[in-house]
Amino acid sequence: MAKQTTASSRPFFYPQAGAALHCGEVSIESLARRFGTPLYVYSGDQIAGRLGLFQQALAGREHLVCYAVKANSALAILRLLAARGAGFDIVSGGELQRVLAAAPEAASRVVFSGAGKTEAEIDLALQSGILQFNVESEAELKLLAARARKLKVRARFALRVNPDVFAETHPYISTGLSEHKFGIAIDRARAIYKEAANERWLEAHGVSVHIGSQIRSAGPFGAAVARVAGLVRTLRRAGIALKAIDAGGGLGIDYHALVATATQPVHAQKNGPCDATVKVAEYAAALEEALGGFDGRLLIEPGRFLVAPAGALVARVLYVKRNGKKTFVITDAAMNDLIRPALYQAWHEIAPVRPRAGRPRAVDVVGPVCESGDFFAHDRKLAPIAPGDLLTVLDAGAYGMAQSSNYNSRPRPAEALVEGAKARLIRRRETVADLLAPELL
């Protein structure tokens, strides 16, 4: 069987020539037979391994890895991470309730981000005893103070400052410039902290920054944290000693990696993924240098990096159709199951579960939804494909199921978690009855 490093490479691979694609020790074919398609499949071993990479790289200082729940909020994944000491970065009251359902003991390891927190969400978080509110505006801080005063619960907060640092990524997921809706101008933060010092029910606990998502180099993270560390030193001289710096998340992955085989393991591929261990070490080193002697707690908020390569969307081919010069491979999965290609023009590697012999040809891999934007790939060169074949859309563990919908009244997929040689269902497939249940005639 091809050797797989659970944290550094994808857990999806062909163990030998002619074999079906596996997730760890489990055949994707067996999962499709048990649970049907479309189906999300996740490797719990890789998720745990990637969390461990961050924990090991930061072992020299007090830290907390706060998983970004928005990437994938499956309860089983939240419980898996909580059991290994992870904290959680949430952006809604619903995400907080998911954390409380999966691991109530982890409430004190939750940071609450997001630009539009409601009064009800703030109350729930205060009553749950979360670690920190990442506050994004002066109006929000005033509301937090009022709710803390009413509930007589001291609220720990960090201002999310906007460092005006450019990160090369998709404009929809860039958040660190002054033109974006997120955060507070870093030059304004000192005055806000000084004003907050007069509020009995507020505690200035830290400072937060987040510059975007899918950032592949460590440099922008270091630049942002260096600006934040400078603010912390200025505040300390003014008598305001912050206990934590939240460096946010955003470390990216290689969506263009090839699939490992017995004859070409992932670490030998010319175009294979960058070794995750190296990327995490570079990231940790950049943060450490930028912190400049700060001896408080470092919080980080990885999401995609932990779960994206650990997940795949498995689909069955319904039809192969020629239209003029184009060939369309129509699957039972669609844009409502995985919207990233339609939303971001995102690339996902597509691998047949059992490859057929023959010359690759360019095809469009599409779904049955009534939209021209319902596609997973355009002009992708794939080995011959026939109706009934299984395909996997790789690196779909982040922002796949989390962004899914019921468009065209399509029930959402089931989800399965693989750990070692065992696989279990962690979310049953939706039914039309589930879709109709909230509606009134």
Chain segment 33-51, per-residue pLDDT in tens: 999 999 999 999 999 999 9
Give residue 370's Cα distance to chain centre.
28
* C-alpha span between 47 and 320 (Å, rounded): 35
Chain segment 160-190, per-residue pLDDT in tens: 999 877 555 444 434 444 555 568 999 999 9
CATH class of the domain defined by 44-304: alpha beta
Domain ranges of the chain: 12-42+309-436, 44-304
Q: Is 216 helix (H, G, I), strand (E, B) or coil?
A: coil
The mean pLDDT value for 382-411 works out to 98
Residue 10: which residues within 8 A CB-CB, separation 6 or more? 4, 46, 257, 259, 260, 266, 273, 309, 394, 395
Active site (catalytic) residues: 370
* C-alpha span between 235 and 38 (Å, rounded): 52
The mean pLDDT value for 15-41 works out to 97
Give which of 404, 211, 394 is closest to 308, Cα–Cα. 394
Whether the predicted pLDDT of 302 surpasses 50: yes
**CB atoms inside a 10 Å sphere around CB 92:** 18
pLDDT band at 259 (very low <50, low <70, confident <90, very high): confident
**DSSP, residue by residue, 21-69:** PEETTEEHHHHHHHH-SSEEEEEHHHHHHHHHHHHHHTTTS-EEEEEEG
Chain segment 52-110, per-residue pLDDT in tens: 999 999 999 999 999 999 999 999 999 999 999 999 999 999 999 999 999 999 999 99
Give which of 78, 26, 25 is closest to 306, Cα–Cα. 78
Q: Which CATH superfamily is domain 12-42+309-436 in?
A: Lyase, Ornithine Decarboxylase; Chain A, domain 1 (2.40.37.10)
Q: Do 12-42+309-436 and 44-304 fold alike per CATH?
A: no
Give residue 396's Cα distance to chain centre.
10
* C-alpha span between 412 and 415 (Å, rounded): 10
Residue 83: which residues within 8 A CB-CB, separation 6 or more? 103
